[in-house]
Structure 1
Amino acid sequence: MTDPVTAGLDPLDPLDPLGRWRRLADGAVLLDGFHALKHAVRFGAEVPVAVAVDRRAALALAGELAPDVRAALDGLLTEVTEATYASLVPRPHPTAVAALAVRPSREAHLDRLRQASRTTPVVVLDNPRNLGNAGAVIRLAAGFGATGVVTTGTLDPWHPTVVRGGAGLHFATAVERLTVDELPAGPVFALDPEGDDIRGVELPDDALLAFGSERSGLSPELRARAGRLLALPMRPQVSSYNLATSVAMTLYHWSAAGGASHYLQGSPR
């Protein structure tokens, strides 16, 4: 019986996007949706295959929202049927655009994280549990120009759900999973309800800003590594902030003192 997804495709054609996708899928990063592809291209990702159900509509969206990458997307996008697109992604995106990207080398990311002259913080998520939260944090870190985002524990920060939540901005910062012992050098400021009020503290540009898991807070290992515990202002009887909200507040506090002023001058959408 003929597979309706592959019908009409030449299996010997090296330009066949479906065949290329299936060959690359296991080791590649899934870019799920137009905005993930837009950001990945904008920040230099290597994208060997990209598809859209409506190529013209995707390019029109690029012309409206991302004219700086429209020409690149014009050269990348191949139009496919809706059935083919649905066979390539676990959960179709409203923009019906998807792509595969080459994951940046771990060695390059580690070199960036370990630079002795870091001028922006590293965000450390200590044993995070929620994939969507991790993606939102990576998006925030990229927006503030952070050096990178490091996770400890079992969560894979390059999981497709995390990449989807990060809107492809993994390629704008260094994202890696490390143990507490492997964290880069630098002063560690860990967020904890029992810490000092963050409003009275100036965060250095080379700081490691550490946040505990959504359920259990900081691990004993990370707490022992911290040079100082800090607390965010919060109304009494409110239990906690969402992880991404906590990271946003902390990065804003750092930036408001002058950090990353050369990053935050406005940028393409």
Structure 2
Amino acid sequence: MNDPVGGGSSGFAQQPVSVWRSLAGTAVLLDGFHALKHALRFGAEVPVAVTADREAALALADELAPDVRQALAALLTEVPETTYASLVPRPHPTAVAALAVRPSREGNLRALARTPRGAPVVVLDQPRNLGNAGAVIRLAAGFGATGVVTTGTLDPWHPTVVRGGAGLHFATAVERLDVGELPPGPLFALDPEGEDIRGLKLPDDALLAFGSERSGLSAAVRARADHLVALPMRPQVSSYNLATSVAMTLYHWSATGGAAS
């Protein structure tokens, strides 16, 4: 039987669908149970959430996220599967979706600029792949990084990036900036010609910059860099995946004194 909180009949569903359609142009799409779960854990404002199977979604909460089960029960409205499918670009296997209010740019910029910082800021220099950007945001949140900044044209709040980040945009500060607007702090740029990272201790207030998947660091970021840093790599292997490079670098930071909170 459906949980009584939130309702599941078509009559109850009408208002959430209307709210959804009124907010869809400006709100952040949380695509799937895990994205909604993470957003709620980190304080996102979620005005509407729908599911094609409320009972299954709440069973997932009982199993995987009892800490947000009550919030999910209050939010989730069951809608017909065809209605759910009409609200999202592609249905998620968990048949859950929600819309969240994007954090204010001003608040994110204050968090990024605050000094002293207890954790680095990850800088993605002109990234191209939306999925990679999402994976990096997920990593940064897991390690407790202060934030993720992108330069160039990629929107770090694009729905595909948010999907790849599993809703963890709300656990760290995510913004797009020009190179001249980067937060203060020593910039360590990852480059094959740099100093071996294994001989370095990355400071908590570092900016950790990673070039694009195709062309590497831009001239502007290279000129701004205080240090060029190289990851260990077997000869004749040309590169690592962007998210892998970020994971290795954040792990090195954490293993040499930094720590996730």
Q: CA deviation digits over 1:23-50, x for unaligned, max 9? A: 0000000000000000000000000000
Take 1:24 and 1:202, find their aligned partners in 2: how far apart are those partners? 45
Unaligned runs of 5+ in 1: 1-7, 264-269
Deviation at 1:14? 10
Contact 2:13 2:77 in 1 (8 A): no
What is the identity, as a one-letter code, of the residue corresponding to 1:150? V
Aligned to 1:254: 253
Take 1:32 and 1:9, find their aligned partners in 2: how far apart are those partners? 22
Contact 1:214 1:243 in 2 (8 A): yes
What is the identity, as a one-letter code, of the residue corresponding to 1:136? A
Contact 2:13 2:78 in 1 (8 A): no
Take 1:194 and 1:62, find their aligned partners in 2: how far apart are those partners? 47
Q: CA RMSD for the aligned pairs?
A: 1.3
Aligned to 1:154: 153
> Aligned with 1:16: secondary structure?
helix
Q: CA deviation digits over 1:180-213, x for unaligned, max 9? A: 0000000000000000100000000000000000
Take 2:77 and 2:162, find their aligned partners in 1: how far apart are those partners? 22
Work out the percentage of aligned pairs sharing the same amino acid: 80
Deviation at 1:9? 6.1
Matched residue count: 253
Take 1:231 and 1:112, find their aligned partners in 2: how far apart are those partners? 28
Aligned to 1:122: 121
Take 1:80 and 1:14, find their aligned partners in 2: how far apart are those partners? 6
Unaligned runs of 5+ in 2: 1-8
| Structure 1 residue ranges, 4+ long, deviating more than 4 angstroms after superposition | none
Aligned to 1:91: 90
Q: CA deviation digits over 1:160-198, x for unaligned, max 9? A: 000000000000000000000000000000000000100
Aligned to 1:194: 193
Deviation at 1:158? 0.1
Contact 1:33 1:94 in 2 (8 A): yes
Contact 2:50 2:96 in 1 (8 A): yes
Contact 2:187 2:227 in 1 (8 A): yes
Aligned to 1:58: 57
TM-score, length basis structure 1: 0.92
1:142 is the counterpart of 2:145: no
Q: CA deviation digits over 1:96-118, x for unaligned, max 9? A: 00000000000000000000111
Contact 2:192 2:229 in 1 (8 A): yes
Deviation at 1:15? 6.4
Aligned to 1:163: 162
What does 1:1-269 correspond to in 2, within 5 Å? 16-260=15-259, 263=261
Contact 1:14 1:20 in 2 (8 A): no
What is the identity, as a one-letter code, of the residue corresponding to 1:229? L
Take 2:49 and 2:257, find their aligned partners in 1: how far apart are those partners? 39
